[in-house]
Amino acid sequence: MNVQFDFSGRHAMVFGGTTGINLGIAQAYAHAGARVTVVSRKQANVDAAAATLGERGLGLVADVRDEPAVAAALAQAVASQGPIDVLVSGAAGNFLAPAAQMSANAFKVVVDIDLLGSFHVARQALQHLRQGAASLIFITAPQSTVPMAYQAHVCAAKAGVDQLARVLALEWGALGVRVNAISPGPIEGTEGMRRLAPQGEEGAALVRQMVPLGRMGTTGDIAQLAMFLGSDAAGYISGTVIACDGGAQGQLSPMILAAADGALKKT
pLDDT tens per residue across span 90-131 = 999 999 999 999 999 999 999 999 999 999 999 999 999 998
264 pLDDT band, cuts 50/70/90, is: low
Confidence (pLDDT) at 44: 97
231 pLDDT band, cuts 50/70/90, is: very high
Q: Environment class of residue 82 by beta-carbon count within 10 Å: exposed (0-12), middle (13-18) or buried (19+)?
A: middle
Confidence (pLDDT) at 207: 86
Residue 212 has pLDDT above 80, yes or no: yes
Confidence (pLDDT) at 255: 79
Strand order in the sheet with 134-139: 57-61, 35-40, 11-15, 86-89, 134-139, 177-184, 241-244
Q: What is the mean pLDDT of the chain?
A: 94
- Domain parsing of the chain, residue ranges: 11-266
Instruction: Tell me how far CA of residue 145 lies from CA of 70, 123, 157, 180, 187, in angstroms.
Output: 28, 24, 11, 16, 18
Q: What's the mean pLDDT in 204-211?
A: 88
Residue 202 has pLDDT above 90, yes or no: no
Q: What's the mean pLDDT in 147-168?
A: 97
Residue 253 has pLDDT above 80, yes or no: no
For 133-147, how does the pLDDT look when each residue is reduced to its tens digit (9 = 90+)? 999 999 999 999 999
Percentage, residues of the chain above pLDDT 70: 97
Confidence (pLDDT) at 262: 64
Residue from 88, 192, 84, 197 nearest 141 by CA: 192
Residue 267 has pLDDT above 60, yes or no: no
Residue 226 has pLDDT above 90, yes or no: yes
Are 35 and 10 within 8 A, CB to CB? Answer: yes
3 pLDDT band, cuts 50/70/90, is: confident
CATH of domain 11-266: 3.40.50.720
Confidence (pLDDT) at 45: 97
Q: What share of the chain is helix, strand, coil (3-state, %, to 5)?
A: 50, 15, 30
- Read off the amino acid at residue 156: A
Residue 196 has pLDDT above 80, yes or no: no
For 45-54, how does the pLDDT look when each residue is reduced to its tens digit (9 = 90+)? 999 999 999 9
- Read off the amino acid at residue 123: R
